[in-house]
Structure 1
Amino acid sequence: MRKTYDHASPIRTTYQRMNLTSWRYIGVAAVMAVCFSVIGYQEHQRYSLTEGAAGRDAVALVTEVTWKERKLHKSNFVLSVEFETEDGELRNERIDVSNELGNRMRSVDEVEEIDIRYNNDNPSIAVIKGEKNSEFIQLWLAVASAAIALILLTWRLISQRRAEG
């Protein structure tokens, strides 16, 4: 004789509640992809706008070094710099820098000069000369999130077609 139970299996109800192909999870993955894309694009744009014909070199005075203690970030430091543009305009800007450079600048007690590149059309866009964009993780997270959203969407559509036909 076989035993029968009136209640549903806990495994089945847990799976039903955590349906990964629900529109909620697909939407969350898609929103994450968009957010990571925007962050990665802004960082990439900042570097690309200082290269080429629009980029200008300048020597800047580091007036302040600030930092936040955040784990897993390659850029926890911000330098406040003062420089003069080609047109003679005096600018005060804040530039995100790598932890290595930030630690080096933090340990210096006197005013330090540093080479920067800025965008001639918009001098508020400035980067440290020679530093590369190391924040590619946002772009990879965007690609991964988009791939997950597409996989879940495809899985959901295939499951719906099988259920219908």
Structure 2
Amino acid sequence: MNMTAADRTAIDNDLARTQTYFEIRRIRDQEAAAKKQERHELAKKRDANRSTWMRQTQSTRPRRLDVNELNPVTGALTWPRLLQGPDYSQDREALDRAFASRAATGGLSYEDQQRVAGVADDLSALLKSRIRDLPPRDYLNSHAFLTNLVYESRSLPD
């Protein structure tokens, strides 16, 4: 009878060990699936953030001036209304000369590009110092024009 009780206990222990093994395996599989799902959701969120970031940077990056803003043959610039004032004439003339030279020679030297950027920065600083007195839309258009002008100066003419 002792042998039978011992056999029964051994069988019960083997059964409990087997059940415990499969229970632990099931728990590990669930945890692995949960971690995989979490990684997948993080990757989706990261990709969504990346695409949002790409859209935002593309929409705010400078663009080339179009033919309404820069005559590709003569290099003549069409200035925003705000920058047509007499306070900006000296800087405007310097930039007009640079872009006329660019149209004639097919590009600007590095030094000329730096001068264009410096003059545009000076104009932007002057605009910014008067920002409280300017219509917001005119300020934004003028600032964007200057940013695009610098970008254009670093590009080869079409």
Do both proteins adopt the same fold according to a TM-score greater than 0.5, normalized to the shorter chain? no
Q: If you compute each CA radius of gyration, which structure gives the higher value, 1 or 2?
A: 2
Which structure dedicates a bigger proportion of its chain to strand? 1
- Given the two structures, how large is their TM-score scaled by the length of structure 2? 0.36
Larger helix proportion of the pair = 2
Between 1 and 2, higher relative CO (CA 8 Å, sep ≥ 6) is seen in 1
